[in-house]
Amino acid sequence: MKHFKPTTRMSDIIHTNYLLLPVINRFGVRLGFGDKTVEEVCREKKLNAGFFLAILNAYHDPDYFPEKELQGFSTHLIIDYLKKTHDYYREYVIPKVESDLENLMGDCQGNCRNLRLIRSFYDKYKVELLNHLNEEDTRVFPYMTDLQRVYDKEIPMADKVRNFSIRNFEEEHTDIDNKLFDLKNIIIKYLEPQYVDNMCNAFLYAIFQLEQDLIDHARIEDKILVPKIMLIEKAVKS
């Protein structure tokens, strides 16, 4: 697969993969870029072009993952990006999935009992997902930011930093991913189709997209941020 370069035109990137639209938006990059290239847009928006490209390429090609290069970017930069994706899930993706689900239920034909089961399952999943995002935003990320600042000698070491460890937060992603996978599979394989097909398709599209986005998101957290933080913990606390 071809990867994007600093000299690639922004318009070509979107023509190649329109799923990158929300990703560029998270960086504050909006459409109407004419013939501008990645480096030109980044210069204008004062973005780190290397980071911008690494994220775009990692999202575009699931096998592209320059671990070392990504770990070289600053903790603050990575967290800032991850927080923006959290906002995007909360403000746009989850409401979109829900409105698709409402449409699906609203047009249910015949026995709606089974669709109500699907909704209960989704509701449960949503609560878990939101709790997870919230936990990261209110506890994990602030801890990481503080730890980095201690390492950079911007603030003194405090108990809340000393007594905390990133190890407490690992492993959480799997169960949430499993539930989303199950939701898809139950609809695809086992739910009797008593619904309007297009409504169900729309709901599934939304789920597939959320899943893809979450996988990429978790990959950046688990393989880039967490190992980076572990190294800093080792340096600061030992």
Based on the shown chain and the rule CB under 8 A, indicate whether residue 226 belongs to the binding site for another protein: no
User: Judged by CB under 8 A, which stretch of 9-17, 81-89, 129-137, 187-195 contacts another protein?
Assistant: 187-195
Based on the shown chain and the rule CB under 8 A, indicate whether residue 205 belongs to the binding site for another protein: no
Based on the shown chain and the rule CB under 8 A, indicate whether residue 68 belongs to the binding site for another protein: yes
Q: Give me 9's structure tokens.
A: 């035109």
Based on the shown chain and the rule CB under 8 A, indicate whether residue 113 belongs to the binding site for another protein: yes
Compute the least distance from the CB of residue 217 to another protein, in Å. 13
Compute the least distance from the CB of residue 65 to another protein, in Å. 3
Identify the burial level of 54 via C-beta atoms within 10 angstroms of its C-beta, where 0-12 means exposed, 13-18 middle and 19 or more buried: buried
Based on the shown chain and the rule CB under 8 A, indicate whether residue 214 belongs to the binding site for another protein: no
Out of 124, 160, 162, 167, the residue judged to bind another protein by CB under 8 A? 124
For residue 109, the one-letter residue type is Q
To which H or E segment does residue 193 belong? none
Based on the shown chain and the rule CB under 8 A, indicate whether residue 118 belongs to the binding site for another protein: yes
Out of 11, 17, 103, 114, the residue judged to bind another protein by CB under 8 A? 114
What DSSP character marks residue 167?
A: G
Compute the least distance from the CB of residue 125 to another protein, in Å. 8
Based on the shown chain and the rule CB under 8 A, indicate whether residue 189 belongs to the binding site for another protein: yes
- C-alpha span between 26 and 32 (Å, rounded): 16
Compute the least distance from the CB of residue 154 to another protein, in Å. 31
Backbone dihedral region for residue 32 (phi beyond 0: left; psi -120 to 50: alpha; all else: beta): left
User: Judged by CB under 8 A, which stretch of 104-112, 140-148, 181-189, 204-212 contacts another protein?
Assistant: 181-189
8 A C-beta contact, residue 24 and residue 56: yes
Spell 128-153 as b/e; 16+ CB within 10 A means b.
ebeebbeebbeebbebbebbbebbee
8 A C-beta contact, residue 179 and residue 128: yes
Backbone angles phi, psi at 216, to 5 degrees: -65, -40
Based on the shown chain and the rule CB under 8 A, indicate whether residue 130 belongs to the binding site for another protein: no
Nearer to another protein (CB atom), residue 90 or residue 179? 179
Q: What angle do CA 57, 60, 61 make, to 5 degrees?
A: 85
Nearer to another protein (CB atom), residue 83 or residue 119? 119
